Structures are given as structure tokens and as C-alpha cells.
Amino acid sequence: MTTQISQWLQAQNLEQYADGFNENEITLEDLPDLTDADLKELGVAAMGHRKAILRAAAAASAAPSATAAPATPAVASEPSPPSAPAAPSAPASQTGSAERRQLTVMFADLVGSTELAGRLDPEDTREAITSYQNAVSSEVVRFEGHVAKYMGDGVLCYFGWPQAHEDDAERAARAGLHIIEALEKATAPNGEKLEARIGIATGLVVVGDLVGEGAAQEEAVIGETPNLAARMQGVANPGQIVVSDSTRRLLSNALDVEHIGQQDLKGISGPVDAYAILGEHEASVVAEARHSAASS
């Protein structure tokens, strides 16, 4: 049975430690209290993995809630982007009833966060992560996606729930391109460039069941799609967006896409075709600019 702590570890690409956490009944609420010695006892032998878990737990606990947008403004002279709305509880008509629907899932991860944290003090590390989270949430909201959860240096987003559009896959891909572009202007407090890897996948899921309690409560998404999006992110290079074939088939010709081969992905049956989003056609960019100008 997949637990919340298992899902959290999976998002950090450290799911191999899930059994130890579950056997010792570690919950999401326990994460901020864990020490390096505790993690050793839980079976996390690698020092780098322990540091990654401690850093992600500290970043998550620094936010008001798991689904609230970070409050710290973006670094440098960039204006603070609009905060993503807090993840709503399921509407009254959906409360307690899950639904089956097609969902496009985006998983964005900050590149080199472990190494960056080793070069910065905790306050500067938090500022860098918040700047990155703000850049992601601003573009996701702009394309009417939903920021589902902040997980340390990772951001989980949905396109197609709770609000659905016919072009949700394309909205996710375009949001990813704008995130990469926005991060080109963002830096950590020490001047280092911030970059992201982004993975996107589309598929049928069951969404809407409430799991957890209190501040840790969230709408669960059940299905292979979130895992596939996380694996696509793992394939991406810094500053790159990689999408599954299911997403690629839903994109219009306005986006340039390149096949980067079949990938053997952990937890996914059989080789999977992966595609890199190279950019938008110039005509599409001009049309979008005209649409934005007409709407303003």
C-alpha cells in the first residue's frame, strides 16, 4: 500500500527508503523533527541522501502549508510573481467522491539543490528555493494549471483538475517553456543561476479522494501518470522539458518537439518514448502576444 510518506520519498527520488520509514511509522508531520542520526537508524546510509531529505523536510516545513504558495518574494530586482492559490478542498459536489479523468501532470525540480545548499546558509537556501517556487507557480497559474504541492525543491502541478481545458497538455508544455525562461533571470543569493528540470505526462487517473488529516490533507491522484511525470523529469537535462508520448500526441504543431529515444524507467513497465520540447514556433509566439495585448 502506498502511503503519503512513500509518495513524498518518491518525489525526492528516494523511494528505496520507504519501507524503513513505514516500518517505523514515520509520517509527514514527523519529517521536520528528524535528525541525521534518526535517518541513519531508518536505513539512509548515504550522507548525500540524508542531507537531501533533511533539506527537503526543512523547506516543506518553512511554508505555511503543503499547498500554500511561498510568501518570500523573488530575488534580485524581479517583481514578486503572483502567489498560486492555496489548493482548494474538493467542491461540495465532489467532497468524498473521487472521479476518473484525463490529467496532465507536471513535475518541476530545481537543479543542483543539494550542492547549492552546501554552499549557502539555511536562510539563503530557503530564499533560493522560494524564488524558484515563485517562478514555477506564477507560470502555472498563468496557464490556468493547479499547483498541487511543494515538495522541497520539487513542485507538483496538475493541468486538467480542478479546472479542465481541451488543451491542458499544451498549456502544461507552454507553462514549462515560460518557467525555463523565467528562471534564466533568477539567481540564488550568491549569484548562482537557478535551473529546473521539468517532466510532463498525461493519462487517466482517479482524483478527488481526500487523504491525510489537518494541514497534511490533500486530494489524492491515483494512477501511473504522476510517477511517469516524475520519471520524465529525471530524464531531462538542466533547463529542459521532457514529455511522455501521451502528452506529445496532444500537442499542436505550434510547438517544436524532438524524440530523444526510448527510456527504461524505474517503476514503469517496458521502454517509454520520451520527447524534448524545443520551443514555440515564432508565429505562435506572435499570436499569443497579440491575444495578450487584446485581452489587457
DSSP secondary structure code for residue 149 in this structure: E
Q: Are 188 and 238 in a shared domain?
A: yes
Q: Are 131 and 173 in a shared domain?
A: yes
pLDDT score at 267: 79
Nearest-angstrom CA–CA distance, 36 and 99: 40
Mean pLDDT confidence for 22-35: 84
Q: Are 140 and 245 in a shared domain?
A: yes
Mean pLDDT confidence for 174-190: 92
Q: Are 22 and 169 in a shared domain?
A: no
Contacts of residue 126, defined as CB under 8 A and 6 or more positions apart, other chains included, come to: 58, 59, 62, 72
pLDDT at 284 over 60: no
Q: Which backbone phi and psi does 201 adopt, to 5 degrees?
A: -145, 155
pLDDT at 254 over 90: no
Task: Tell me which of 62, 79, 95 is where a domain ends.
Answer: 62
pLDDT at 291 over 60: no
Question: Are 108 and 198 spatial neighbours (Cβ–Cβ below 8 Å)?
Answer: yes
Q: Are 284 and 186 in a shared domain?
A: yes
Q: Are 171 and 149 in a shared domain?
A: yes
Adjacent-strand bridge partners of 220 = 209
Nearest-angstrom CA–CA distance, 115 and 53: 13
Q: Are 25 and 115 in a shared domain?
A: no
| Nearest by Cα to 162 from 68, 225, 89 | 89
Nearest-angstrom CA–CA distance, 140 and 161: 13
Q: How far is CA 119 from CA 111, 130, 145, 155, 186, in A?
A: 14, 17, 33, 22, 17
pLDDT score at 294: 52
Q: Residue 213: which pLDDT band, with cuts at 50, 70 and 90? A: low
Question: Are 160 and 148 spatial neighbours (Cβ–Cβ below 8 Å)?
Answer: no
Question: pTM score > 0.75 for this model?
Answer: no
Q: Which long-range contacts (CB under 8 A, 24 or more apart) does 138-142 make?
A: 138/81, 138/82, 138/84, 138/182, 139/175, 139/178, 139/179, 139/182, 140/84, 140/106, 140/175, 140/179, 141/82, 141/84, 141/85, 142/175, 142/178
Q: Residue 86: which pLDDT band, with cuts at 50, 70 and 90? A: very low
Q: Are 58 and 180 in a shared domain?
A: no
The lowest-confidence range among 34-43, 66-75, 182-191, 279-288 is 66-75
pLDDT score at 250: 94
Q: Are 23 and 159 in a shared domain?
A: no
Number of domains in the chain: 2
Burial class (CB in 10 A: 0-12, 13-18, 19+), 80: middle
The lowest-confidence range among 109-113, 160-164, 184-188, 220-224 is 220-224
CATH number at residue 10: 1.10.150.50
pLDDT one-digit tens code per residue, 94-150: 344 678 889 999 999 999 888 888 888 888 888 899 889 999 999 999 999 999 988
The tally of CA atoms less than 13 A away on the side-chain side of residue 140 is: 32
Task: Tell me which of 46, 62, 78 is where a domain ends.
Answer: 62
Q: Which residue has the cell 521532457?
A: 242
Domain of 134 in residue numbering reads as 69-295
Higher-scoring residue by pLDDT: 124, 36: 124
